[in-house]
Amino acid sequence: MSARTISEKILSVKAGREVHAGEYVICNVDRVLGTDASSPMAIDYFEKMGGERLFNPSRVLFAFDHYSPAASPETAAFHEKVRAFAKRHGADLCDVGEGISFQLLAERGGALPGSLVIGADSHTVTAGALNLFATGVGSSDLAAAMITGQVWLRVPHSIKVTLTGTRTAYLSAKDVALALVHMIGADGAHYQTLEFHGSALPSFTLEDRMVIANLGVEMDAKAAIFPADAATTEYLRGRKVGLDAPVTADVNAKYSREITLDISRLSPRVSLPHAPDNVVPIEQAAGTQVHMVFLGTCTGGRVRDFHEALAALNRAGGAIAEGVQLVVTPASREVADKLRADGTLERFETLGAIITETGCGACCGTSGVIPADGMNVLSTANRNFKARMGNATAAIYLASPAACGAAAATGRITDPRAERAAR
Amino acid sequence: MIALEGRARRLGDNINTDYIISSARKRDTIDEHVLKQWLLEHVDAGFAASVQPGDIIVAGKNFGCGSAMEVAVTVILAAGIKAVIAQSFSRTFFRNAINNGLVPVQCDTSKFEEGDTLSVRLDGSTPVVVNFTKELTIAAEPIPEVMLRILESGGIVQQLKIHRLLAASHSTQPS
């Protein structure tokens, strides 16, 4: 047996034979995820395909996250359609307020090391933080998987990403992720998996790893996979549903490319409008006026992110600057409950922030707050395409929760390491 | 066998699916015949009004990146466009295109301009692109067999209807 990457090992198990990068395989999937944005169309395909039942209802999860809550009768009708389908077929349904699909899968212990997850949401790759192969598909592939329990895939080549050095105070996982997007480019990981290695990994929590894996798709990666270690075990404790099968890459595995990033001297990063890979060190964007700060999404909507943002906001003055709208959207109910229990949400509320329902929020202009004409938005999200947040004249900048927290206090893009000096 | 002829509609690099059709537009309808009025609105406000059935989109690299939303494919088809020729495609868009019968052709598009007269022929696995205006004939990247089968059955709906399983009589399965 020749040396294999994590991707090759997982897909070999799921294809039932030893497979290597470049081969086309049909794999059995462990979990299938749909959202309120992708499932209504998947249900149409399911019916056109003559689908009668789900391959395994307990393996299929629908989450209402993009339209949370529905803001029109038409959107409400999409929700009703998915509710009725889930009820008829016995699938798991996470209704409005529960959270983002793959976040829920992880929280409920269904994102298991060694497994194969497909989701009709490109950011499904996030679940790879838990040492599994998770990839995004469209509604028709989702429908086919709902019926067959299978997906065809080209076994991807892998890019070995080695993180070395020492993590400094105020360095966010988002800074590492944006630095990688810049190094690799918007299509640099085309058809490939990012597989993470390196001595710096223990300094990144599971939530941090989700941030980094999440941005994989902004490099067009098919999956982004971390090794399983103590952080993985810790996260799965008390959650795990089923058996996990952690996967390690063979020492001599072949990679399409190897990238090393020394995080010791990495400064905070900002992605400028209108492309996620338009990344600069924060020094080059500092001073830019900010009208809206958005904390949330599948990139920056977890407990650690809000703690990081609030701490930075406090260091930078402890009040929201005049003329700044601060929007807080937890990624899931579990996240919101924890933030409520530890006083974080109350603190944000007291400061005057808008706390919205959990889910994708303002990220793609489908629920939550829409920026006004000409506004500059600083966001913890993953995409800053023109019009992404529902207004083509707004300019979206992407940064870490710390940088967003600092900007909420100063009204300008602010290096979160230098807030005291800036005041 | 697929044979198409049409006029090139030139786009650039990294045209993401939100640019093809915005997430906010599809919140209230996924009917591609309604959505097509906003096709590429933030790239070219006049695109939807000027598109003609038979037009062929020509793009740079990473076409269809970003969200995996499938309306980005169905809205292009609804506008009467049956092929997209690009330097490269994002994987989710490529899959969705094949699944719905939109022909994704990968080749060097650097010399192609708006309005060029093009043909795309697919007979076997290698699409052949002819740019009559520029007098170029290009053999594009072959389409993998698994995708060709889906495209030839008329899309994944037909394939599932006929075979019930993705694995049906497939050559990549263990023999």
> By CA distance, what is A123's nearest residue in B?
B67
- Residue pLDDT, tens place only, A367-382: 989 999 999 999 999 9
Tell whether A275 is within 8 A of chain B (Cβ). yes
To probe the interface with B, which of A11, A118, A122 has the most B CB atoms within 10 Å?
A: A122
- Beta strands B127-131 and B2-10, pairing class: unpaired
What would the mean pLDDT of B7-29 be, rounded to a whole number? 97
- Interface contact flag, B42 A392, Cβ < 8 Å: yes
**DSSP class of A208:** H
Tell whether B35 is within 8 A of chain A (Cβ): no
Q: Kindly determine whether residue A144 and residue B156, on different chains, have CB atoms separated by under 8 Å.
A: yes
Confidence of residue A421 (pLDDT cuts 50, 70, 90): very low
Q: Say if residues A160 and A260 touch (Cβ distance below 8 Å).
A: no
B22/A365 Cβ within 8 A = yes
Under a CB-based contact definition with an 8 Å cutoff, are residues A272 and A266 in contact?
no
Are A43 and B70 a contacting pair, CB within 8 Å? no
Q: Check if A122 contacts B (Cβ < 8 Å).
A: yes
Contact A125, A7 (CB under 8 A): no
pLDDT score, position B175: 31
Stretch A264-293: mean pLDDT = 97
pLDDT in tens, A78-114: 999 999 999 999 999 999 999 999 999 999 999 999 9
A241 or B51: which leads in pLDDT: B51
Closest alpha carbon within chain A to B67: A122
Q: Which DSSP helix (H) or strand (E) runs through B92?
A: helix B91-100
State residue A418's pLDDT score: 74
Contact A336, A296 (CB under 8 A): no
* Chain A residues 360-379 within an 8 A CB cutoff of chain B: 364-366
Structure tokens given for A53: 């039942």
Contact by Cβ (8 Å): B78, B33: yes
Q: What is the distance in angstroms between the CA of the first residue and the CA of the last residue of chain A?
A: 61
Mean pLDDT, to the nearest integer, of A319-335? Answer: 98
Nearest to A267 by CA among A410, A417, A379, A406: A417
Residue B170 has pLDDT above 50, yes or no: no
Which of B19, B28, B92 is facing A136, going by the closest CB pair? Answer: B92
Q: What are phi and psi of A182, to 5 degrees?
A: -65, -45
Tell me the one-letter amino acid at A82. V
* Arithmetic mean of pLDDT, A159-167: 98
Provide CB contacts within 8 A for B170, sequence distance 6+. Answer: A26, B146, B149
Across the range A414-422, mean pLDDT stands at 73
Write B157-162 long-range contacts (CB < 8 A, 24+).
B157/A45, B157/A48, B157/A49, B157/A140, B157/B99, B160/A49, B160/A50, B160/A51, B160/A143, B160/A144, B160/A147, B160/A148, B161/A48, B161/A49, B161/A50
Residue A391, pLDDT above cutoff 70: yes
Please report where in the chains the tokens 């093809």 appear, as a residue: B20
Classify residue B115 as left (phi > 0), alpha (psi -120 to 50) or beta: left
Output the pLDDT for position B124.
92
Closest CA in chain B for residue A17: B174
Is residue A331 within 8 A of residue A103, CB to CB? The reply is yes
Instruction: Answer whether residue B155 shows pLDDT above 50.
Output: yes
Higher pLDDT, B168 or A321: A321
Find the residue in A nearest to B73 (Cα): A138
pLDDT of amino acid B174: 37
Quick check: B157 contacting A, CB < 8 Å? yes
Comparing CB atoms, the residue among A143, A148, A387 nearest residue B42 is A387
Residue A270 β-bridge partners: A280
Residue (of A266, A129, A288) closest to A201 by Cα position: A129
Q: Is the pLDDT confidence value at B173 over 90?
A: no
- Count how many residues are written for chain A: 423
Residue B171 pLDDT > 50: no
Q: What is the pLDDT of residue B167?
A: 57
Q: What residues of chain A lie within 8 A of the CB of B68, using their CB?
A: 38, 120-122, 136-138
SS (H, E, C) A24-55: EEEEECCEEEEECCCHHHHHHHHHHCCCCCCC
Q: Tell me B31's DSSP state.
A: -
Cα gap A224→A126, rounded to integer Å: 7
What does chain B come to in residues? 175
- Using an 8 Å CB-CB cutoff, list chain A residues near B165: 148, 150
Average pLDDT over residues A180-204: 97
Does the beta-carbon distance from B95 to A25 stay under 8 Å? no
Reply yes or no on whether the pLDDT at A327 is more than 70. Answer: yes
Q: Is A423 a residue whose pLDDT tops 80?
A: no
The string of pLDDT tens digits covering residues A109-157 is 999 999 999 999 999 999 999 999 999 999 999 999 999 999 999 999 9
Q: A-chain residues within 8 Å CB-CB of B160?
A: 49-51, 143-144, 147-148
Q: Which burial class, exposed, middle or buried, applies to B52 when counting CB atoms under 10 A from its CB (0-12, 13-18, 19+)? A: exposed
More confident residue, A332 or A241: A332
- Above pLDDT 70, what percent of chain A? 99
Burial environment of residue A238 by CB neighbours within 10 A (0 to 12, 13 to 18, 19 or more): exposed
Residue A256 pLDDT exceeds 60: yes
Closest CB to A148 among B61, B100, B165? B165
Phi and psi angles of residue A368, each rounded to the nearest 5 degrees, phi first: 90, -155
Enter the tokens of residue A140.
């028709």
Residue-level pLDDT at A87: 98
DSSP structure string for A99-164: B-HHHHHHHTT---TT-EEEESSGGGGGGGGGSSEEEE--HHHHHHHHHHSEEEEEPPEEEEEEEE
pLDDT digits (tens, 9 = 90+) for B20-38: 999 999 999 999 999 999 9
ipTM of the complex: 0.95
